[in-house]
């Protein structure tokens, strides 16, 4: 059994809390948060503290707080020579205080409190300063996911960058699509089956194989028509940039 | 029972063929294609022709060929005063020959021959010159989908434009993400759970509610770091354009 203490209780750590609770190989021994938290009734028995000085002993401490707060928070811990990890894709391992053994436990997924997620397929990217800690993190990852990989800080930075493209920027394209329909009083619901199928296609085809559309086939008439329909200059910039890129890369 | 004849047998019409065959309310009476086609053994009994002069009588004729070929192909038909529709999001209804009653039967989805799709939730966008034809298309749509809407040519042009953003451009973002990982010898598979969850989120949250990331929270340090990691100037342009747009629209 691996004992975990969660430090912070935001999107990531509240989901990790549920995932570890549902696993038989890991247990959340304590949750620290600087302010009081809501735990649903089934979890009332969990030990909670808002005092740094009351943080207990455990195998792994997981810091799940905003990137720019990790460094000073990890310095403020009274723990010494414990395995302390953070969950960030964007922050390096060395932002953590040297007072403890450092590591990373980065779940490559988008989390928000409103949505349940299953960890089973979520890639858990781990890193540690020494082999025995890496093994602990490997075993901890396996308690919730079938997909645990050792990833260096440099690789993780690239993963995080790629995630910004496929998550943040894709979501903004959904917003543009919805906005174009909204101006015609058409429902965003009309686009949902297409959005789901676009995502599902890349489970079996590479994005290059899945690519279709006027830009790919250099359909100048349609591209011209679309540019005329776009009155928002920002959307037009996106359209032109992607159309040029697709014409150059996919023909 | 509604009788349909399919003119052309590409991505769309080959999927419509299967969908109508599986419905008890519609039947494909004949398939025309200018060159021979492959039909799987279960459908060998279908009547096929490659001669315009042999096209039979039916309630609805569905042209499913590339947009720029629709006009001259529809002129070449010997049929008169029949209900002839096309399946294009981008072409107006009036590209069809006036020799017949004109209409639209546009399934808002991405089709490729390799992938099975269920029509049940696919929006079918219909349009016709007169009310009785609109009713025929409504009934035909209902034989395969629960989601049939009357959509004007202007609205359809906007739908098609929105579809380019959420399908073609999104798929290109998947390509960029994969390419960034590929250069690190990391597998595109790592991004797949994130891509699926990004799409699933907008089933319950609006894109605005679902938006996260460094640009949205104006995390200047991370944005700077990402721009330094991007050596492809094209990807960097995409990053800057989206980051500016998100900073301006979502804060
Ligand atoms: N959200 C995602 O999709 C996601 C995915 C993968 C990785 N990550 C990474 O996981 C980490 C946590 O992200 P998140 O979305 O879970 O964050 P979040 O929900 O914004 O985290 C809020 C938590 O951080 C605490 N906190 C904020 N500032 C603090 C400070 N100065 N000192 C101590 N605690 C502080 C908050 O405490 P209070 O309740 O007292 O305010 C709260 O418990 C980040 O490194 C992020 O990059 C996030
Ligand atoms: N694919 C999609 O995701 C999608 C989605 C919604 C709507 N649409 C629309 O549906 C229509 C068909 O698209 P698609 O993807 O199914 O097209 P496609 O697969 O490229 O269509 C190929 C078919 O068109 C025939 N064809 C090509 N040029 C022709 C010509 N000059 N005269 C007669 N037949 C010709 C081909 O005949 P041969 O076999 O003899 O070459 C073949 O049967 C288009 O209007 C498109 O905009 C497509």
- List the domain boundaries for chain A: 2-151, 156-250
| Low-confidence winner among A35-39, A72-76, A155-159, A191-195 (lowest mean pLDDT) | A35-39
> What pLDDT is recorded for position A34?
97
Bridge partners of B2, per DSSP, are B26
Q: Give residue B113's pLDDT band: very low, low, confident or very high (50, 70, 90).
A: confident
Q: Is A72 in the pocket of ligand 1 (CB under 6 A)?
A: no
SS3 state of residue B86 = strand
Average pLDDT of the residues in A243-250: 91
Average pLDDT over residues A5-27: 96
Residue A60: is its pLDDT beyond 90?
yes
- Supply angle C-alpha B160, B162, B163, rounded to 5: 60
CB B161 within 8 A of CB A229: yes
With a CB cutoff of 8 Å and minimum separation 6, the contacts of A141 are A105, A124, A126, A148
User: Which residues from A are below 8 Å from B212, CB to CB?
Assistant: 110, 112, 167-168, 171
Quote the pLDDT of residue A106.
98
Per-residue pLDDT at A43 exceeds 80: no
User: Min CA distance, A45 vs chain B (Å)?
Assistant: 31
Two tokens, residue B18: 């299967």
Q: What is the mean pLDDT of residues A211-240?
A: 95
Determine the average pLDDT of the residues in A103-108.
98
B249: confidence class by pLDDT, cuts 50, 70, 90: confident
Residue A105 CA, ligand 2 centroid: distance in Å: 48
- In the numeric block, which tokens belong to residue B106? 């546009």
CA distance B135 to chain A (A): 21
Mean pLDDT of B53-68: 97
Closest CA to B88 of B169, B25, B36, B11: B11
- Highest average pLDDT, of A34-43, B44-53, B238-247, comes from B238-247
d(CA B11, ligand 2 centre) in Å: 7
Q: How confident is the model at residue A112 (pLDDT cuts 50, 70, 90)?
A: confident
Q: Answer yes or no: is pLDDT of B237 > 60.
A: yes
Question: Does B178 sit in the ligand 2 pocket, CB within 6 Å?
Answer: no
CA–centroid distance for A113 within its chain: 13
Residue B207 has pLDDT above 80, yes or no: yes
Would you call A166 and B158 a contact, using CB atoms and an 8 Å cutoff? Answer: no
Note the pLDDT tens digit of each residue in B216-232: 989 999 999 999 999 99
* C-beta atoms of B109 and A193 within 8 A: yes
Closest approach atom of ligand 2 to CA B12: 16
- Per-residue confidence at B250, pLDDT binned at 50, 70, 90? confident
Q: What's the pLDDT band for A114 if we cut at 50, 70, 90?
A: confident
Question: What dotted CATH number matches A2-151?
Answer: 3.40.50.720
**What is the pLDDT, as a whole number, of residue B107?**
98
Establish whether residue B108 lines the binding site of ligand 2, counting it when its CB lies within 6 angstroms of any ligand atom.
no
Q: Is the CB of A243 under 6 A from ligand 1?
A: no
Strands (E), A47-123: 48-49, 60-63, 83-86, 101-107
Q: What is the pLDDT of residues B3-44, one digit of tens each?
A: 999 999 999 999 999 999 999 999 999 999 999 998 775 666
CB-based contact, B76 to chain A, within 8 Å: no
Decide if domain A156-250 falls under CATH 1.10.1040.20. Answer: yes
Q: Is the shortest distance between the CB of A7 and ligand 1 below 6 Å? A: no
| C-beta of B66 in contact with ligand 2 (< 6 A) | yes
- List all residues of chain B from 4 to 63 with a beta carbon under 8 Å from chain A: none
Give chain B's mean pLDDT: 95
Is the Cβ pair A201, B110 closer than 8 Å? yes
Q: Are A67 and A90 in contact (CB under 8 A)?
A: yes
Q: Residue A44 has what pLDDT?
A: 61
Report the alpha-carbon distance of residue A77 to residue A68 in Å, rounded: 16
Residue of A174, A211, A248 with shortest CB distance to B166: A174
Determine, for residues B213 and A167 on separate chains, whether the beta-carbon distance falls below 8 Å. Answer: yes
Other C-beta atoms closer than 10 Å to the C-beta of B132 total 9
User: What ipTM was assigned to the predicted interfaces of this complex?
Assistant: 0.96
* Cβ B3 vs Cβ B29: under 8 Å: yes
Q: Is B158 in contact with A229 (Cβ distance < 8 A)?
A: yes
Q: Is the pLDDT of residue B154 over 60?
A: yes
Nearest in space to A18 (alpha carbons), one of A87, A109, A116, A104: A116
Q: Any bridge partners for residue B88, and if so which?
A: none
pLDDT at A214 over 70: yes
Average pLDDT over residues A141-157: 97
């Amino acid at each position: 059994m691996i004992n975990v203490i969660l430090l912070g209780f935001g999107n990531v750590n509240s989901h990790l809390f549920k995932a570890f609770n549902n696993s038989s190989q890991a247990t959340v021994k304590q949750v620290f948060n600087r302010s009081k938290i809501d735990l649903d009734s089934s979890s009332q028995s969990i030990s909670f503290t808002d005092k740094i000085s009351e943080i207990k002993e455990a195998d792994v401490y997981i810091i799940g707080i905003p990137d720019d707060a990790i460094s000073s928070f990890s310095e403020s811990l009274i723990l010494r020579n414990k395995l302390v990890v953070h969950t960030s894709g964007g922050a390096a391992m060395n932002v953590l205080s040297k007072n403890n053994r450092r590591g990373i436990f980065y779940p490559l997924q988008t989390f928000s409190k409103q949505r349940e997620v299953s960890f089973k397929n979520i890639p858990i990217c781990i890193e540690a300063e020494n082999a025995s800690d890496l093994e602990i993190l490997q075993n901890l990852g396996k308690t919730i996911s079938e997909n645990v990989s050792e990833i260096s800080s440099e690789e993780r930075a690239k993963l995080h960058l790629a995630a910004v493209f496929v998550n943040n920027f894709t979501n903004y394209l959904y917003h543009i699509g919805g906005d174009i329909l909204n101006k015609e009083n058409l429902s965003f619901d009309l686009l949902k089956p297409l959005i789901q199928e676009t995502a599902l296609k890349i489970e079996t085809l590479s994005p290059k194989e899945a690519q279709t559309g006027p830009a790919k086939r250099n359909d100048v008439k349609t591209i011209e028509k679309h540019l005329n329909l776009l009155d928002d200059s920002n959307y037009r910039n996106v359209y032109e940039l992607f159309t040029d890129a697709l014409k150059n890369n996919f023909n």
